[in-house]
Structure 1
């Protein structure tokens, strides 16, 4: 017998999530009910196909088996089918009572213990699939494995039942979280430079990131970028194409007072192309750039151009070549910020992230005082007057998309952006990116953190919304911080402003639009990340927003205690 040489042709989807849909069934049940089970499997699989979008605009593969899992032989057969198809996310759709250990539990024995499994069922008494769901979920929770149930709705009768929209929506949210968890395993991010300006909250916890998320952190020295700029190791013609594209939206919006400033601009654009190609060579899904201090603000070295435009381009959905994938990118080599952006971008189906300084918190009283001091008339019922707001501002990483509302065209977005000369100690290094985000953009603002005391990651988060201030007031605030940087004014939904400014885990925070709390919560379940929402006004559970608490948490003293047990703490 000879060893077998594997083909050099690789199925690229093998590194992504693949969802497998199946159904258990009682072998004693009538043929009509068995056909109903098969039809339900097809319906669920087809309903999921083409709905779980990845950042590159492709969709997660969905497969199904029409073999009903009656007993151990069928469990083994379906498991082998799924393994050959690369399935690493399981969706079980029970419509009848059956025997848990002989069916799904036997099937699960073929997969790693951390494989996500969801039980989606109708709340039916006719053929009690819901009874099977509770029995199986309870058994799985007793041996310490995480599972989620989705007790939804579909008709009790008929050979071709259809899920309700709410049932499907809940399942899709779970699938996004499961696909992010599995799809990012084996991926890598690339960070240029060493520790982020000495900021402990931004360190690359390499081993912990590898163990918890399955992600690799490739670290490259910024000297490589400096050398490639010096050697002009990039496509000079493409640099001109990129510059012409920027100029097409108004050369007068790019501050270039001297001839040398246009040369600096070209170098900063070349930096984008260099880093883009390096990330592509390494098949990276995200990146970060240290910049300060060695790159451009230590005058003992050779001054090099700021990376603001580069970082914004990576976080945007377009560049000079048209529509593109968002590659989450962090300024100041902030790895924990990068990971926050990466996870939320995947959970949202590729929406652009916003990287911000947690700059100044204006409480309700501060807002009133500002308006009075500058004689700005207000109705008094504006959200920023009623609660206050945060000025989110940073020199880099601000996605161009956040200059306009979700769904805006490239032309509309670019019409709201200008590129002033960088100020202060960045002045001689090139151009910043400046805009003010519009109001009424809703999403989640969050920040990943890490503790050496428990060896675990945590996510501090809240739902949030942007607000648009009166133009005069907005400009006063921008001038008081940095008038050349992008500004986004953010209001948390549940956190009071006192809580918000006291519990920030770092000087940076991040926001992604179109992201539901349930998706983030499901993902934190899969990754065993602690969910931190210390806001006194946030209920423990909010229907139609939060995911129901997994049973394994209830049996082991609550979510936080169970996660610490699972982490071996």
Structure 2
């Protein structure tokens, strides 16, 4: 008599890693050498993905590949079972020959969730020919309402181990990061302290829409918990002292402690970082946000507390007093749309630290040129900022310390450009220290902002290439 199986009672966590599955369809009528070549391509591309793609914390993704060529329904079912057993969450098909669409990849995909990411990567002129199959199955899937990504690349027509071009692999790796972000964030959560700051409803936490669109949960924590833990001293005093020494050692006189009770307020600010870091780790959060204004640091009806700038900067950085760490996207003023934007971009870029900023002013070319003449700043027709204008991206909150330097620069050099002046008390009577730096020129990136429309029930993304 069959009995139910009892699962383990442990709630310990293992790092959540995305698993890619690589396979290929094939024509059962072709010669053995061509079939072996197809299997070799599957293995080669699987190894390329394993070597090139990482989780945001730098850990490896899981990549599995099947030597079973999908000739028809029987093989499709077998590979589907293999992928299910391996926990595959994104599928890559690398055909090198013609095959029968419905009998192969379409039958395989019948076994997996409808929105599983699927990529078809193929050489452009395979003699058998794989590229014809790739277009045929991609078209059939589109007709059925299933979106796939078709990557028509290049690899040699001859040889048993044809190596794809760099461009072919790079296009596939880019897709892998998109797939990793999409499936890797499902079931994860962000933690937001407070509500939409100062009534800025563009920052609202659209809980249900975020859940439906991205599979992300938004954990909302009342700021009373944070205030209580701060007053209770619910953090490591030893670690707080170590963080204080680290900050003081790097900043020296650039750390302004001239305001009343500055030392005590700085210690509170450091403790806020440790408390929030631990609260996020407790629920395995991938990001967070903090509402400073008005209730926390500005409302005189209550007891204004120190601003949270340093904690926000440390969360968003790839280092702190303990050394290297993963950047944890963390939004100023509990701006959830800003948080989601930063979160997606950090995952898409293998863990690159995000830069949050306010969109302050667009300096049109005629305007910036006039200001340059007033200030006797020289420029020519080839000066980019004079010809195109600039966007003034300041930050009323805080940003990743990494952006005080160029990518990969040592922490010691980065921190030499950081200052921590006292808070502007007419805005923030709770005091504390802000974080100030000017990003160096020449850093390239993507400037973007996620938005949500109640009218359509959809999120949208405005983005463009940018450089400092």
Shorter-chain TM range is: over 0.9
**Paired residues for 1:88-487 under 5 Å:** 88-258=89-259, 260-379=261-380, 381-423=382-424, 424-426=426-428, 428-466=430-468
Q: Secondary structure at the match of 1:249?
A: helix
Q: Is contact 2:297-2:430 (8 Å) kept?
A: no
> Residues of 2 paired with 1:300 and 1:348: CA distance?
43
Structure 2 distance, partners of 1:8, 1:94, is: 43
When the two chains are superposed, the root-mean-square deviation of aligned CA atoms in Å is: 1.4
- Write the mapping of 1:545-564 to structure 2, written as runs, cut at 5 A: none
Q: Tell me how far 1:226 sits from its aligned partner.
A: 0.6
For residue 261 of structure 2, give the secondary structure of its aligned residue in structure 1: helix
| Residues 50 and 60 in structure 1, CA contact (< 8 A), matched pair in contact too | no
In structure 2, how many angstroms separate the alpha carbons of the residues matched to 1:33 and 1:432?
A: 64
Q: What is the alpha-carbon distance in structure 1 between the residues aligned to residue 24 and residue 159 of structure 2?
A: 17
Structure 2's unaligned 5+ residue stretches are none
| CA spacing shift, 1:13–1:130, aligned 2, 3 Å | farther
Give 3-state SS (helix, strand or coil) of 1:149's partner. Answer: strand
C-alpha separation in 1, matches of 2:401 and 2:196: 26
Alpha-carbon spacing, 1:137–1:13, altered in 2? closer, same or farther (3 Å): farther
Of 11-20 and 351-360, deviating more is 11-20
Equivalent residue number for residue 518 of structure 1: none
Aligned to 1:2: 3
Task: Kindly provide the CA deviation profile for residues 83-129 of structure 1, in whole angstroms up to 9, marking residues without a partner as x.
Answer: 11110100000001111111100000000111111110111241100
TM-score by length of 1: 0.80
Task: Report deviation, 1:317.
Answer: 0.4
| Unaligned runs of at least 5 residues, structure 1 | 467-569
Determine the structure 2 residue equivalent to 1:552.
none
Alpha-carbon deviations, 1:7-56, whole Å to 9, x = none?
A: 34689678442100001111111111111111111101011103112211
Alignment check: 8 A CA contact 1:189 1:287 kept:
yes
Structure 1 residue 378: deviation in Å?
3.3
Partner of 2:68: 67
Tell me how far 1:388 sits from its aligned partner. 1.3
What is the distance in 1 between the residues matched to 2:333 and 2:259?
28
Q: Does the aligned pair in 1 maintain the 2:37–2:161 contact within 8 Å?
A: yes
Q: CA deviation at 1:381?
A: 3.2
CA distance in structure 2 between the partners assigned to 1:32 and 1:7 by the alignment: 47
Aligned counterparts of 1:119 and 1:13: Cα–Cα separation in 2: 31
The structure-2 alpha-carbon separation of the partners of 1:130 and 1:45, relative to structure 1 and needing over 3 Å to count, comes to: same
- Is the partner of 2:53 in helix, strand or coil? coil
Q: Deviations over 1:484-516 (max 9, x none)?
A: xxxxxxxxxxxxxxxxxxxxxxxxxxxxxxxxx
SS at match of 1:336: helix
1:53–1:42 CA distance, 2 compared to 1 (3 A): same
